[in-house]
Amino acid sequence: MSTAKTPVAILLSGRGSNATALITAAQDPDFPARICLVLSNNLDAPGLDMARAAGLPTLAIDHRSFGKDRAAHERAIHAALEDSGAQAVCLAGYMRLLTPYLTTAWAGRMLNIHPSLLPSFPGLHTHERALAAGVRLHGCTVHLVTEGMDEGPILGQAAVPVLPGDTPDLLAARVLQQEHGLYPLALRHFLTQNPATAPNGAALVVA
């Protein structure tokens, strides 16, 4: 039996491997989301090509054409999200800092995936920083987006071991593999709020 599907939009800036994981998951009739729009601030994002090839509606709203007017760019994004009918938004490698305008408009309905076990290593270069800090476990987090960067309530996490000889690239690849499993799990749980689908534990991989 198929589930009623919630329209969900994806925002991305680059390669879109997490978007691919969400799109693939949403192709399952029993997954509680359908992807109603894939939107990018970057006209050349490979993730947009991937979404087009998957037959999904796509849109690019280039931030550069708005100059320094971040608010105007976000108003255009918000309008496009509303037009798409999205009831929730997944940031998937969206590389723009959001202003309170967008975070308020989508409060409680916008998810992000971050490549660290938050609250450790918010921001950029997480894998380099994890190696420099000597942590033995690293991973990824899906969280709700709030005004503070990478600070919102945690919806799910997946951990990977840091192995001898790891480089940032090796560690990033190990984390990314977990991201692709975690994001669909976390979105499913967020949309259904079903304790049986809670990602914590299910996606946890501990050395």
Name the residues that contact ligand GRF, by CB under 6 A: 12, 14-18, 47, 92-93, 113-115, 140, 176, 179
- Minimum distance, C-beta of residue 179 to ligand GRF, in the bound complex (Å): 5
**Residue of this chain nearest to ligand GRF (CB atom):** 93
- Minimum distance, C-beta of residue 176 to ligand GRF, in the bound complex (Å): 6
- Minimum distance, C-beta of residue 1 to ligand GRF, in the bound complex (Å): 31
Half-sphere exposure of 149 (CA within 13 A, CB side): 11
CA distances from 168 to 119, 132, 180 (A): 19, 10, 18
The residue (of 21 and 81) whose beta carbon lies closer to ligand GRF is 21
73 is catalytic: no
| Dihedral sign of CA atoms 65, 66, 70, 73 in order | negative
The residue (of 69 and 153) whose beta carbon lies closer to ligand GRF is 153
- Minimum distance, C-beta of residue 46 to ligand GRF, in the bound complex (Å): 8
Active-site residue, from 114, 127, 138, 189: 114
The residue (of 4 and 124) whose beta carbon lies closer to ligand GRF is 124
The residue (of 3 and 200) whose beta carbon lies closer to ligand GRF is 200
Active-site residues, by number, are: 114
